[in-house]
Amino acid sequence: MRRGFFILCCMLPCLSPLLAQNYPRQSIDLDLLVQELFAEQDDESISYEDLYETLFQYYQRPVNLNRTTPEELASLYLLSRPQIVAFFNYLQENGELLSIYELQAIPGFDLATIYRLLPFVQVPDAGLQSDARPLWQRMVGEDNNALILRYERTLQQRRGYTSIDSTSRSTTRYLGSPEKLYLRYRISHARDYSFGITAEKDAGEQFTWSPSTRRYGFDFYTLHLQLYNKGRFKTIALGDYQLQFGQGLLLSSGYSVGKGGETITTVSRPNLGIRPYSSVLEYAFMRGGAVTYTLGSIDVTAFYSNKLVDANLQTQLDTLDREEQVFTGIQTSGFHRTPTELANKDAVREQVYGGSAQYRSADKTLSIGVTALGTHYNAAIRKAGAPYQRFEFGGTHNYNLGTNYSYTWQNVYLFGETAMSKSGGLGSINGLIANLARNVELSMLYRYYARDFHTFYGSAFGEGTRNINEQGFYTGIKIKPLPKWEVTAYYDRFRFPWLRYLVDAPSHGDEYLVHLYFRPNRQSSLYAQMRHESKGRNLSGNITAMDYVAQAERRNYLLYFETSPTRTLNLKSRVQFGTYAQESPQQTGYFISQDVNFTFSKLRLSTRYALFDTDSYDTRQYAYERDVLYAFSIPAFSGRGTRFYTLLQLRPLRDLDVWLKYGLTHYRDQQSIGSGLEMIEGPRRSDVKVQVRYRF
């Protein structure tokens, strides 16, 4: 009775924004959400597309709060671990949720958090029966079923597409046309099944049918089929998939976020297990089969992958005067445009196999796991021999064994993972997240990655792009001093005990960020951000045999304001400024943009005009811009010039969506853009992108 009275009391003041239990779901700007949560100005390593796609899937098929898991909620990156534990404690004490409004009764759930969460969750009507029809019948009637076709092209001609003449400096040209083509079909239903196929041809690649050279139209294909909750089988995966266990030290699916404006929820990684793969990154996935089987409180996963990877194979003589096939490393660009790139395609076979066992206590506060895997190549990896490569992996076999844990005690969440590679190198990451008060959250994380720790599919939290040769300690804080204000900040200190690429000595550095967010109402938001980084780097222009390493100081400042004065009009203003110095006069760069967006019932128009001016590439400015569905664009701007783009989205038919994007970048005081085969004669670069989605 008291619970029903509380729900009624919660509903009365919220009738205006929420209306009813099955409230009309409002449209959400996923682009803005990702930008607000993970705002960073010069991070190229984050796979935003994977994150964006996952959030979009949750938006299409909201999470059933009465059937969800801690890891599923954590994968939204909207709730802290103490909040997730508080949610499940509430379910354990009060039973299943009767209404979405009960979220206000859960300790630690403020209105700002709830409003961000609402588009991705639901509380279905009680007594809703599961669909017992055969799989093919469920797939035929599925409404989350769409085909996407995309066309992209740069209108100006690049050098790689010109004819070879006597004045040409290079005799190499691209083999294919300048169009970039993309096809994607996916049909899925949350916690039931997922099937998809994605194909891509990059600009410069051939669209040809040649089975003898393993080319079948598009240059790259990925295909997956996954089934969920089939008896004791939690997940069954065939085709292409990703794995994420623990903190991603050994296996990380790419669905992760680095350091940014969100300093709490992104520090720990969700233990997602097997995930479907539908991206076009041509290296960061498994190809084969995987299965997760539930034994009470333990989920046991076994996996096997067998695929071809790109590499530059070379023949060398060993100590016994026998020929041996070797390569220096896997090539991850995914480009097969020139004869050399095409010859390196699928040159080496990679096999990955292993298993994982993950235990979770009945009250969902304790999780312990063990993961083991092996990696085998049919040719040996042999580095070029540069000093910084002394401790890199070499040979054909690598093995890893690791353990992970997480534990929640009251308002403190502890997590970590430790692993070892065949070389004996150790990697370890451990941290905590704590609610110090109702409006104060703290995160702390320490990582240690030995210089001879080798993992090929790991991507745990760190400063470097790989988990090797690094030590660091990160501290983040989030404070909500007033209902409409939020302050986040972090400080990260790190060191690299051995040499790195372009850093010819052991080095160290630190980084800090302060992010101030203010939302006066649901129509407007403002945030300001300041970030400073100091990191060792070779001093350019040094003529000694080994470069001198000096600290490079980089500062970035960002001011962003968004408002929607009417339902159809949205305005976004962005100003960012950066500096760079390394024992030389300080260099600067800035970027200023104004977005004007219109939203109507069947049409959406987004426009931007921007100015940028940087002294060098070191002061380049990264700025997010809207793009077609499933494409996330954060281009870098250097030099001096202007940027304009317009994106039109329309729905001529109920099940048909069309996107048209045109972008123009004009550089001042430049007679060419780019270099090598990508060089464009003239100061302008214009791009067109057309995408069509048909929902069956």
* Residue 40 to residue 53: CA distance in whole angstroms: 19
**121 SS3 class:** strand
Task: List the Cα angle 393/394/396 in 5-degree steps.
Answer: 115
Q: Which residues pair with 299 in a beta bridge?
A: 294, 358
Do 540 and 553 meet the contact criterion of CB atoms below 8 Å apart?
no
Nearest to 364 by CA among 65, 91, 78, 123: 91
Tell me: pLDDT of 11 over 60.
Answer: no
* Residue 225 to residue 236: CA distance in whole angstroms: 8
Do 485 and 518 meet the contact criterion of CB atoms below 8 Å apart?
yes
Residue given tokens 């010859």 in the structure block = 343
* Residue 660 to residue 680: CA distance in whole angstroms: 23
Tell me: pLDDT of 6 over 70.
Answer: no
* Residue 214 to residue 205: CA distance in whole angstroms: 14
Sign of the CA dihedral running 435, 436, 440, 442:
negative
In a 10 Å sphere around its CB, with 0-12 CB exposed, 13-18 middle and 19+ buried, how is residue 483 labelled? exposed
Note the pLDDT tens digit of each residue in 512-545. 999 999 989 888 999 999 999 999 999 876 555 4
The residues, ordered by sequence, that sit 6+ positions from 601 with a Cβ below 8 Å of its Cβ are none
* Residue 263 to residue 478: CA distance in whole angstroms: 7
pLDDT at 130: 61
Rounded to the nearest angstrom, the gap between the alpha carbon of residue 414 and the centroid of all alpha carbons in its chain is 24
Tell me: pLDDT of 315 over 90.
Answer: no
Note the pLDDT tens digit of each residue in 388-446. 999 999 999 999 999 999 999 888 999 999 999 999 999 999 999 999 988 899 999 99
Confidence band, pLDDT 50/70/90 cuts, at residue 612: very high
Lowest mean pLDDT of 114-128, 130-144, 223-237, 358-372, name the range. 130-144
Residue given tokens 């019948």 in the structure block = 137
Kindly report the backbone phi and psi dihedral angles of residue 112, in degrees, each rounded to the nearest multiple of 5, phi listed first.
-60, -45
DSSP character for 460?
-
The CB density around residue 21, as the number of other CB atoms within 10 Å, is 15
* Residue 475 to residue 434: CA distance in whole angstroms: 12
C-alpha separations of 379 from 175, 319, 376, 434 in Å: 28, 16, 9, 47
The mean per-residue pLDDT over the stretch 104-131 comes to: 78
Residues 627-663, buried b or exposed e (16+ Cβ, 10 A)?
Answer: bbbbbbbbeebbbbbebebbbebeeeeeeebbbbbeb
Amino acid at site 2: R
The mean per-residue pLDDT over the stretch 595-621 comes to: 95
* Residue 388 to residue 383: CA distance in whole angstroms: 10
pLDDT at 16: 39
Do 335 and 204 meet the contact criterion of CB atoms below 8 Å apart?
yes
Confidence band, pLDDT 50/70/90 cuts, at residue 111: confident
Tell me: pLDDT of 29 over 70.
Answer: no
Nearest to 531 by CA among 516, 518, 514, 517: 514
Strands 366-381 and 323-327: parallel
* Residue 458 to residue 254: CA distance in whole angstroms: 9
- Rounded to a whole number, what is the largest CA-CA distance in the chain? 89
Q: Which residues pair with 148 in a beta bridge?
A: 184, 693
Mean pLDDT of the chain: 88
Tell me: pLDDT of 673 over 90.
Answer: yes
Confidence band, pLDDT 50/70/90 cuts, at residue 382: very high
Lowest mean pLDDT of 209-213, 399-403, 622-626, name the range. 209-213
**344 SS3 class:** coil
Lowest mean pLDDT of 19-33, 154-168, 308-322, 383-397, name the range. 19-33
Confidence band, pLDDT 50/70/90 cuts, at residue 21: very low
Domain boundaries, the chain: 1-37+62-131
The mean per-residue pLDDT over the stretch 44-62 comes to: 68
Confidence band, pLDDT 50/70/90 cuts, at residue 135: confident
Sign of the CA dihedral running 667, 671, 676, 677:
positive
The mean per-residue pLDDT over the stretch 245-256 comes to: 85
Q: Which residues pair with 187 in a beta bridge?
A: 145, 195
| 308: enclosing H helix or E strand | strand 298-309
Cα torsion at 9, 13, 14, 16 (round to 10°)? 140
Give the percent of the chain with pLDDT over 70: 88
In a 10 Å sphere around its CB, with 0-12 CB exposed, 13-18 middle and 19+ buried, how is residue 526 labelled? middle
Do 490 and 512 meet the contact criterion of CB atoms below 8 Å apart?
yes
Structure tokens belonging to residue 533: 């980084």
CA-only gyration radius of the chain, Å: 26
Tell me: pLDDT of 319 over 70.
Answer: no
The mean per-residue pLDDT over the stretch 261-270 comes to: 88
pLDDT at 320: 63
pTM, full prediction? 0.89
C-alpha separations of 23 from 55, 100, 119, 125, 435 in Å: 20, 9, 10, 12, 31
Residue given tokens 């139209």 in the structure block = 217
Tell me: pLDDT of 55 over 90.
Answer: no
The mean per-residue pLDDT over the stretch 129-133 comes to: 65
Nearest to 461 by CA among 219, 256, 662: 256
The mean per-residue pLDDT over the stretch 592-604 comes to: 94
* Residue 439 to residue 445: CA distance in whole angstroms: 21
**631 SS3 class:** coil
Confidence band, pLDDT 50/70/90 cuts, at residue 660: very high
Lowest mean pLDDT of 102-116, 351-365, 409-423, 603-617, name the range. 102-116
Tell me: pLDDT of 273 over 50.
Answer: yes
pLDDT at 634: 83
* Residue 678 to residue 338: CA distance in whole angstroms: 12
Q: Which residues pair with 197 in a beta bridge?
A: 185, 223
Per DSSP, which regions of 411-506 are E strands? 412-421, 426-437, 440-449, 470-479, 485-496
